[in-house]
Amino acid sequence: AIAPRGEGEILITMKLSDEKLIVEITDDGPGITVDNSSGFAIKAIKEEFELLKTLYHQEINIDITNRQEKELGCKVTLYIPIE
């Protein structure tokens, strides 16, 4: 969503908490509209994570949300167990 504007910001942060690696990826694009929240890309990403859970027998979670009302963009948070 940043590409059409030609510029933008992507911020990636990582931290360890409760034996999980938490990766947060935020951007300042237009965010996810209600029409796109069940679109092909999001469905494919969630299905890929379900496959990873099955293959590696670990609970890998993903949250995809819009940022707060005053900030544009999307936030993706990954929760990856650390053994």
- pLDDT digit string (tens) for 32-42? 765 545 567 77
Look up the pTM and report it: 0.70
Q: Buried b / exposed e across 3-32, counting CB within 10 Å, b at 16+? A: eeeeeeeeeeeeeeeeebeeeeebbbbebb
- pLDDT digit string (tens) for 7-64? 888 899 999 998 999 999 988 887 776 554 556 777 787 788 788 888 878 888 888 8
